[in-house]
Amino acid sequence: MKSAKILIVDDDELNQVILTKTLTPKYQVHCVSSAAQMFTWLEDNTVDLILLDIIMPNMNGYDALKQLKHDERTQAIPVIIISANDSTDDEAKGLELGAMDYITKPFGSAIVRARVKNQLTIKQKNDLLEMLASIDGLTEIPNRRYFDEHFAREWRRSARAGLPLSILMIDIDFFKRYNDHYGHQKGDECLRRVAQALVNNCQRGSDFIARYGGEEFVAVLPGSEEQTAMALANKLCNVVRDLSITHIDSPVSDKVTVSIGATTLTDGGEDSCEMELVEKADKAMYKAKEQGRNGFAFYG
């Protein structure tokens, strides 16, 4: 796991230097000097493993560990406790609070590397299982569960930074008629082709597409203003239409088309909740349907 990211939380600069030197050849290593700095850093960064010192000013490692494990955003991050105390009682306390392992000072480089490697290997396997649980089996793009988690994170990030956040709700027009006319196998293939076309044409690294359910998809566009969201909605309508999937039973086109609803949060979310944004995008999608489908609409 060469790209694995490790956060060292220790108020002793010498310990930071030793651990960084030990781990840097294989991993990305970041250091902070207190629990407060750790929580601030985690607000805007992801990490694969935390090395957490027990004895620190203001908040000790045990209390920091409790807070990590009580927050759904950080509870899955594996933690290795580091301490100068080799008491089995202290080790047991850390493990009971949710730590995955325990390293005592002074550090033995080989031991540190071995224990870090073990925890990252376990995390890699757990991440794979989590990924499989978050992918839609038919279209092989993120599913509704993954969307809910991802959208909640982006909502919090936008709220903290005061940045815009846009949502697109995308529905295949007259998909039931398509299924009834061509059969479910063709319907499944249609869903797969539309899903991949949507994903392939959301080219910004921060944009996110998921299958919302049935023939509906949803896009999360962090940092996108109204005009950007509408431009992408128009592009995706054209992209799906250009797939030229025959749909002779559609009243609006002889090809498969989509209706898209767009909306944008511009105030960082301070006066609304995340589900209101989804509801607005949904209302915009139905507005697009009322306007004749095969197009998009915006809910302001």
Catalytic residues: 215
Q: Would you say the C-alpha torsion 187, 188, 189, 190 has a positive or negative sign?
A: positive
How far is Cα 237 from Cα 259, in angstroms, rounded to an integer? 7
Q: In this structure, what token pair is assigned to residue 127?
A: 């991440």
